[in-house]
Amino acid sequence: MERFDHSSFLKRLTTRPGIYQMYDAEGTLLYVGKAKNLRNRVGSYFRASGLTAKTMALVNRIYDIQVTVTSTEVDALLLEHNLIKSHKPPYNILLRDDKSYPYIFLSANDKYPRLSLHRGPKRRKGKYFGPYPSAAAVRESLHFLQKVFKVRQCEDSYFRNRSRPCLQYQIGRCTAPCVELVSVEDYAEQVENTSLFLNGKSQELMVHLADDMERAAAALEYEKAAVYRDQLGQLQHVQASQGIEGSKGDLDIVAAAVDRGRACVQVLFVRSARVLGSKSYYPPLKLEESDSEVLSAFLPQYYLAGSRPIPADIIVNAEPADVDILSAAFSVEAGRQVRIRHRVRDTRARWLQLAKQTAETNLAAHLAGRQSTLARVQALQDVLKLPELPERMECFDISHSSGEATVASCVVFDQNGPRKSDYRKFNIEGVAAGDDYAAMQQALERRYKRLKSGEGALPDILFIDGGKGQVSQATEVLEELQLNDVVVVGVSKGATRKAGFETLVMGASGREQQLPGDSAALHLIQYIRDEAHRFAITGHRARRDKARKQSLLEGIPGVGAKRRRELLRHFGSAQGVKNASVDELKKIAGINATLAQQIYDHLHAIAD
């Protein structure tokens, strides 16, 4: 490939801010970057020394560079983020987490408001508390609130149709507003206490509860005083476990850890002075080498995606080089000032240290698992006598119930483990019930015709859950498609059908081989085979259940929703329609003799 002439390109390159896009010879976008000074930043990639191996690998693939000049560095940051999100260049950090975060929702305009989990647009009238890092964190909070304040969490339709208290009332988790066993005033008081707690005003709430307890005791209402006492005790316990007294407002604590070419970013969520939970991210590194570089790439993708609110304070363990630009961009996005700080004291410093330790611990565990998988792949290379370490492995399996709803699965593994985004399921059609060979042939043909046409990467190894027959089927399909570089290996369970006694069938020679039970290569094969089996069963059950839920009358030519409704109204059920004769079917309005015969034939063909 002709090398990129960087000297002449840099001579005419502007010194203004903007973004640069690097392309390879095929026109594939490799990397998008932003710069305060485009000439200086792009020129840094072509200096004579000081480049990392990863940067050198990128530079060696550059065929063309295109730049877009912007008026400010903030505009460059926003444009860079949009391009990364749209094109997903392989040398940029890509954050695959665009889901919306859950909230706790307190309904409004109700006599007895309801607490519930909410995810998505905030269209309903009421109060939203959060966001929370996961639905599990929301459910944990809802469980605590139901236990302490007994505000209802049942669906409105369930609530409106109650004539007697439900089980939640019996176990002391609800005051039964559905049958008005609690006054509107008392219920409103518990709703207000719930709001105070969710808004982080725990100290104010505890003072309020202590006053209520004393008043109830003075009025000799000892049972009511005991309720306030229990609520106060539970709140004190929760506040002690939170351990963040003195921290105010909403903030995120973001800590990055980098080791051996991998990274972990730990995000700790604090809302209204309460820690709601944390979440770990493992962005793949291409060029970034330090904590600050990882954060500089991670933060804009995390906060500018539009799916999560930006808190007033973001605490980081290493200051990004472009911290001022990031703060300005986040402030524009949030519509208020956002600060990014890495020097904090007291409580915030303790939580930042905790986030950093968590990131380092999680990264160590992540690397240990990755190294274990890599060691297994190396063992597999030795067993199969492959010239190179396999980079991609696929495995197929077939699942059905006596030939019903046959599904083939394809799972994909690489040197880091499963690549679940590349998994595929195939609904098998047009083969005889229970014909696993024909089902396997159809799945392989559909899969590898697409890969042959360039719609994905071919595997180095193809595992087949089966013996010589299935392996021969796979080999024939690959030969027909002229895919001769794929190693085919059958995994036969053997006579005992127990783990550790599998027989490997080599596709090229038909040779059979058994590995010792403690073989690392065998453990990897078992893992891949079991994952394919699990994925196939999941797909089969979903397809089978969907088919069984479908009415017998659906799919009959000439019978739409209106005629189905008339048939069910007349005969009472789908089985009643099936048991009807042609003459009986003709009596239904809109069904002539021809259509009646078609309905009869269709239903009885299903039975046969």
For residues 537 and 412, state if they share a domain.
yes
pLDDT the model gives residue 94: 79
Distance CA 341, CA 320 (A): 10
pLDDT the model gives residue 245: 42
For residues 542 and 565, state if they share a domain.
no
Token output for 128: 């939203």
Residue ranges for the chain with pLDDT beneath 50: 240-247, 607-608
pLDDT the model gives residue 99: 62
What are the phi and psi torsion angles at 102 (to 5°)? -80, 155
Total number of domains in the chain: 4
For residues 486 and 582, state if they share a domain.
no
For residues 520 and 427, state if they share a domain.
yes
The Cα diameter of the chain in Å comes to 92
503-506 and 487-492 as β-strands: parallel, antiparallel, unpaired? antiparallel
The answer as to whether 219 is a domain residue is: no
For residues 450 and 541, state if they share a domain.
yes
Token output for 72: 């400010």
For residues 540 and 410, state if they share a domain.
yes
Which of 72, 90, 115 is the endpoint of a domain?
A: 72
3-state class (DSSP) for residue 424 = strand
Place of tokens 């046969």: 608
For residues 399 and 302, state if they share a domain.
no
Half-sphere exposure of 244 (CA within 13 A, CB side): 24
Q: C-alpha 563: how far from its chain's center?
A: 42
The DSSP annotation for 289-325 comes to -SHHHHHHHHHHHHHSSSSSPPPSEEEESS--TTHHH
The answer as to whether 526 is a domain residue is: yes
> Residues 15-67: pLDDT tens digits?
999 999 999 988 899 999 999 999 999 999 998 887 877 788 889 899 999 99
For residues 459 and 565, state if they share a domain.
no
3-state class (DSSP) for residue 509 = coil
Q: What is the 3-state secondary structure (H, E, C) of 481-494?
A: CCCCCCEEEEEECC
3-state class (DSSP) for residue 318 = coil
pLDDT the model gives residue 307: 66
Token output for 408: 């083939």
Token output for 484: 């001769």
* CATH, residue 346: 3.30.420
> Residues 248-261: pLDDT tens digits?
567 899 999 988 77
pLDDT the model gives residue 238: 52
Contact criterion met (CB below 8 Å) for 469 and 437: yes
Distance CA 365, CA 378 (A): 20
The answer as to whether 501 is a domain residue is: yes
pLDDT the model gives residue 603: 79
For residues 530 and 405, state if they share a domain.
yes
pLDDT the model gives residue 531: 92
pLDDT the model gives residue 499: 65
pLDDT the model gives residue 607: 46
Q: Range of 277's domain?
A: 251-364
pLDDT the model gives residue 393: 93
Kindly give, in sequence order, each residue whose CB lies less than 8 Å from that of residue 379, ignoring residues fewer than 6 positions away. Answer: 519, 520, 521, 524
pLDDT the model gives residue 498: 66
